[in-house]
Amino acid sequence: MHHVRRGTGAPFLLIHGLGGSWRTWDTIVEALVAQREVIAVDLPGFGRTPPLPGPPTIAALADALAAFLTDHRLTGVDVVGTSMGARLALELARRGEVGATVALDPGGLWKPWERRVFSGSVGLSIRLIRLLRACCRSSRAARSAAPSCSRSSRRGLGGCLRTRRSRSCAATRLRRPSMPPSASSCRGRRSRVLPEDRPAARS
């Protein structure tokens, strides 16, 4: 698993979200490096890390991270994750693989109707991206391609909206993890900060 490791002191793991890479943390890495040894990873299938051989489920990604921690003698490391990375941080905390945990806007802890909306919107986005790529790939020049892409994308988007939601990107059904006492979960107005001297409570 590709990663960047900088600084000295107690190690500190950073896990990016969906569609990101270790560079998600560019704006804060230098400040963190001044106090801690920072390890920022590219998750499997993102950045410079090859994808997993099987489906990239939360469990499979957490397994890969746990193996990375073992290989680099980082088990028990403090961790911060954002979005999907926050969900993975909570899963690692639930397994006892990491220490103090901060989850910034963790993804996947949704109600059934939220999962349906997420799945449908992502499915439409994937269809639109594929349509635009196919349109622009067939154009010989960027300037002449722009109007064609615009007209075709509008027709294609209308077709997407009339079809059933895509089955190619179904949201993974996730259980709410039982977080350890030293975990903080920040999610909009429903943020929860859990001090180390108090048992964790589910939000």
Q: Are 191 and 173 in contact (CB under 8 A)?
A: no
At residue 13, the pLDDT reads 96
Helical segments of the chain, H only = 26-33, 58-71, 84-95, 112-137, 142-162
Residue 110: both structure tokens together: 């949704």
CA distances for 5 relative to 41, 42, 154, angstroms: 9, 12, 45
User: Is a pLDDT exceeding 50 seen at residue 168?
Assistant: no
Give the C-alpha separation, 113 to 136, whole Å.
35
At residue 123, the pLDDT reads 78
At residue 184, the pLDDT reads 58
- Indicate the pTM of the whole model: 0.63
Positive or negative torsion for Cα 106, 104, 89, 184: negative
